[in-house]
Chains A and B, each alone.
Chain A
Amino acid sequence: NAGVTQTPKFQVLKTGQSMTLQCAQDMNHNSMYWYRQDPGMGLRLIYYSASEGTTDKGEVPNGYNVSRLNKREFSLRLESAAPSQTSVYFCASSALAGTENSPLHFGNGTRLTVT
């Protein structure tokens, strides 16, 4: 049982390049999330999808787009990468949205460097 799988694990981009981070979960969860983690700033929510077919902005959505491809998959796209987007990106899922008794399950992250 893999849980939440993220690809790639590492990526280096040049400023202005685009890329898509992939995330898949095999727990039949309804909700999926994208966070970024930066030193001293904690995890910050970029976008989330409460259920298949819906997406919504989080705290730091600028410069990103998302697609909930199906119930299992939620991708994050950087259209024109900037050095400020250098970070570790985590995908997470939870069984239910909007309820507190539904902890997040995280993948192991994508480490992105933009030069």
Chain B
Amino acid sequence: EDQVTQSPEALRLQEGESSSLNCSYTVSGLRGLFWYRQDPGKGPEFLFTLYSAGEEKEKERLKATLTKKESFLHITAPKPEDSATYLCAVPLRSGSARQLTFGSGTQLTVLP
């Protein structure tokens, strides 16, 4: 069964303490892996798409990497404004459109 699993469920970091979030997937024929950021009371905001193993993308303090079984979101020297829930998702082709299957997210708290 195709699925997406994120770990840990919650992560508390001190400001400046680097760490990584994990997204593991079991999907045959991966057609991209998406990372989103979600702030409380808001909708998810797109961060990255990764397509092939070995690919990396960066945005400010965030770097996303992809292997054949998982993706990591590395957060370098985080700041309190990086606190949010981070979601990963993979597309499952169905009918005429892509259906994204989302993980349940990692809630990141960065303490000042």
Interface residues of A (CB under 8 A from B): 4, 31, 40-45, 48, 50-51, 54, 56, 58-59, 90, 92, 97-101, 103-109
Q: List 18 A-B contacts (CB under 8 A).
A: A42-B87, A42-B102, A43-B44, A44-B102, A48-B97, A90-B44, A97-B97, A98-B93, A98-B97, A98-B98, A99-B98, A100-B31, A101-B32, A103-B34, A104-B46, A105-B46, A106-B45, A108-B42
Number of cross-chain contacts by CB at 8 Å: 68
A100 engages B98 (CB within 8 Å): yes
Return the contact of B43 from the options A41, A45, A90, A98 (Cβ within 8 A).
Answer: A90
Return the contact of A100 from the options B32, B42, B104 (Cβ within 8 A).
Answer: B32
B43 engages A92 (CB within 8 Å): yes
Q: How many residues of B contact A (CB 8 A)?
A: 27
A50 engages B41 (CB within 8 Å): no
- Closest residue of chain B to A103, judged by CB? B46
A42 engages B41 (CB within 8 Å): no
Q: Chain A residues near B22 (CB, 8 Å)?
A: none
Return the contact of A109 from the options B43, B89, B94, B104 (Cβ within 8 A).
Answer: B43
For the complex formed, measure the closest distance between the CB of A47 and the CB atoms of chain B, giving whole angstroms. 10
